[in-house]
Amino acid sequence: MFKRNFVIATLILLASLATILLNAPLVSSQGLTITAAAVEGALPLEAPDSELWRLATAVEVPLSAQMIARPILPETNAKAITVRALHNGEEIAFLLEWADATRNDATVRVEDFRDAVALQFPLIDGQPFYCMGQQGGDVNIWHWKADWQAALIARRTLQDVYPNIHVDMYPFVDETENLYLAAYADVDFLPAEAVGNLLALPVHTTPVEDMVAGGFGSLTSQPPEGQNVQGYGEWRDGLWRVILSRSLRSTEAEDVSFAPEKLYSVAFAAWDGANRERNGAKSTSQWVSLQLGAAPAPAAAPAAGAAAPSPARTAAVTPSGIGPLFWGFIGLLVVLWALIALTLLYFRDEGKS
């Protein structure tokens, strides 16, 4: 009799477990998968118009306002990012496109905030909290900045922003140069630069800041020698198109490292400077799967002259797609297996008594 009760209890337990497995909204159930198509040869690191991008399936990743940590801006502007990814066995590149009515690529005036976009990768196995990670669950963040991008072409000076500015002299700068650009002989008078704040450096070699975070407020720039993410971005007709790229493998502990044919997680965030979006006031996505394609395939560019196919842009899978189905299937298997086992057990006991 005891055994029968035990068996029934186990049955109920297993059944509830299956229910949980079937219904639980798992973080990984976001269901989107971005496939980094493998191609041969150089990646289009600064060419969003390159035909090569057509080999990558575009995935539209929905974004929503960050609503967990204050300050909160419930109405952020970017609602989705269209993502394409390519790799060539050496490097990986992401093309991100999102709508933004204005280009905000200066941060000189107090009221000016930049447009920006970021990729985030877990540095642990599994998925830490999708927004900035968590303690013990660090994330690697690649943060592209519109103003850094603009500065690569021409650094904005005070004179650009305030054409009528007139300053007789700044102590400790070389007066033979343009006063508004001249280097400081002693950076102590630019304290943020003196203490090595990456944001304060007068020149950047890339528009992307490579960072690490482990929870809200913990975002930290990697040291200058660890800044290994490249970027390129251009704004046209209300659309930002930004490419972020890096070599697949990195030996740095604070960097994500990729290998072909493997599955990773990635999350996205975007900021609209015109809406004074900065720090936690941003649009974010949940974790999305990132699958790296197998060994590079020959880069079969569409035949010249052929009508260019419209760029593939599909919402790969509906958000409630593969994740729940997969887990549901596993759950069903478990339940079935348990049922069979228990029935067998039950009748064996019955026969004995």
Partner 1 sequence: MPDVYNWQIGRTMTYPYPEAHPRQQFAAVFNINRCIGCQTCTGACKATWTFSRGQEYMWWNNVETKPYGSYPQHWDVKALKLLDEAHQAAGVKPNWDRTQANEKAPYGVYNGLTLTEAAGPNEVVLGYLPADAEWRSPNFYEDTSTAYRGGPFGLSPDGATLPEHQAWFFYLMRICNHCTYPACLAACPRKAIYKREEDGIVLIDQERCRGYRKCVEACPYKKAMYRGTTQVSEKCVGCYPRVEGADPLSDGVPMEARCMAVCPGKIRLNGLVEIAEDGSWVEAPQHPLYYLVRIAQVALPLYPQFGTEPNIYYIPPRWAPRPYLRQMFGPGVDQAIERYIAPSRELLAVLQLFRTTQKMIFRFEIEEGALVREVEVNGKMWQMYDDTVIGFDAQGREVVRLSVVEPLHERPLERLNSI
Interface residues toward partner 1, by CB under 8 A: 69-74, 107-112, 158, 161, 165, 167, 170-173, 179-180, 184, 189-197, 199-200, 216-217, 219, 276, 278-280
CB of 201 to partner 1, least distance (A): 9
Residue 274 burial by Cβ neighbours in a 10 Å radius (0-12, 13-18, 19+)? middle
4 versus 109: smaller Cβ distance to partner 1: 109
Q: How far apart are CA 285 and CA 270, in angstroms?
A: 9
Name which of 97 and 105 has its Cβ closer to partner 1.
105
Assess contact for 156 and 106: CB atoms under 8 A: yes
CB of 78 to partner 1, least distance (A): 18
Q: Report DSSP letters for 248-313, one per residue.
A: S----TTS----TT-EEEEEEEEE-GGGT--TTSSEE---EEEEE-SSPBP--PPPTTSPPPPPPB
DSSP classification of residue 165: -
β-sheet bridge partners, residue 36: 85, 292
Least Å from the CB of residue 147 to partner 1: 8
Tell the smallest beta-carbon distance from residue 248 to partner 1 (Å): 29
- The type of residue at 94 is F
Query: Is 87 or 204 the residue whose CB approaches partner 1 more closely?
Result: 204
Q: Which is nearer to partner 1, 204 or 241 (CB)?
A: 204
Would you state the structure tokens that stand for residue 119, as one six-digit string? 């990729």
CB of 329 vs partner 1, minimal distance in Å: 41
**Which is closer to partner 1, CB of 187 or CB of 334?**
187
Closest by Cα among 112, 108, 79 to 278:
112
By C-beta, is 165 or 340 nearer to partner 1? 165
Q: What are phi and psi of 324, to 5 degrees?
A: -60, -40
Cα distances (angstroms) measured from residue 131 to each of 113, 121, 176, 280: 21, 11, 48, 9
Nearer to partner 1, 196 or 224 (CB): 196
Q: How many CA atoms are closer than 13 Å to the CA of 12, on its beta-carbon side?
A: 5
Give me the least distance between CB of 270 and partner 1, in Å please.
Answer: 16
Give the SS3 label for residue 318.
coil
Q: Which is nearer to partner 1, 6 or 189 (CB)?
A: 189
Q: Say how far apart CA 106 and CA 147 lie, in whole Å.
A: 5
Q: How far is the CB of 281 from partner 1 (least distance, A)?
A: 9
CB of 195 vs partner 1, minimal distance in Å:
4
